Structure 1
């Protein structure tokens, strides 16, 4: 379905310290839950290669960056991030309500 563009940001997490990641995981999961409950984050998951994670946020990279940088994985020194912004102007009808 073609629709008005919705700004989204994909956040790619890369683990840099596996011990820190294990220690910080409970705080990271709680941070994700809070962001989803607040309607800022749409989804989260671990990468297939187990070397990091993927997060999808509503908004532009400029708006998402402060939130993404508050992830305990980053503040605790266990990971780095890359932000990729894109306008979601094509989407399956099932996602339309989520993206508006």
Structure 2
């Protein structure tokens, strides 16, 4: 599982100009099963996405296709972790150490 932390690198006006395309991209990743949750940080200086994928390379590929990345308005920090405990609703994403 991955935590994707976005930090805006451009003024909010530039971020907002790309936001509609970013939202479409988010929706596509939800439909494909990659994203579990997402939202803005408070204060609004970026966002956070909880994601699942087979490996980090796939996540890096997804991030590279984000319209925010393409437009150069944010930087991503990708943190991989092993989700050994989850809420019951996320049980299918539980992992084991090994």
> Which structure 2 segments of 5+ residues have no match?
none
1:24 and 1:37 map into 2 onto residues whose CA distance is 20
Q: 2:75 aligns with which of 64, 80, 87?
A: 80
Which residue number in structure 2 is paired with residue 56 of structure 1?
Answer: 50
Q: Normalization by structure 2: what TM-score?
A: 0.86
> Which structure 1 segments of 5+ residues have no match?
1-7
Q: 2:64 aligns with which of 49, 62, 69?
A: 69
Q: Normalization by structure 1: what TM-score?
A: 0.85
Which residue number in structure 2 is paired with residue 16 of structure 1?
Answer: 9
Deviation at 1:69, TM superposition (A): 1.7
Which residue number in structure 2 is paired with residue 27 of structure 1?
Answer: 21
2:42 and 2:83 map into 1 onto residues whose CA distance is 24
2:14 and 2:56 map into 1 onto residues whose CA distance is 26
Higher RCO, 1 vs 2 (CA within 8 Å, ≥6 residues apart): 1
Q: How many residues align?
A: 92
Structure showing the higher strand proportion among its residues: 1
Q: Deviations over 1:8-56 (max 9, x none)?
A: 0110000111222010000000000000001111111001110000011
Deviation at 1:91, TM superposition (A): 1.3
RMSD (Å) for aligned C-alpha atoms: 1.3
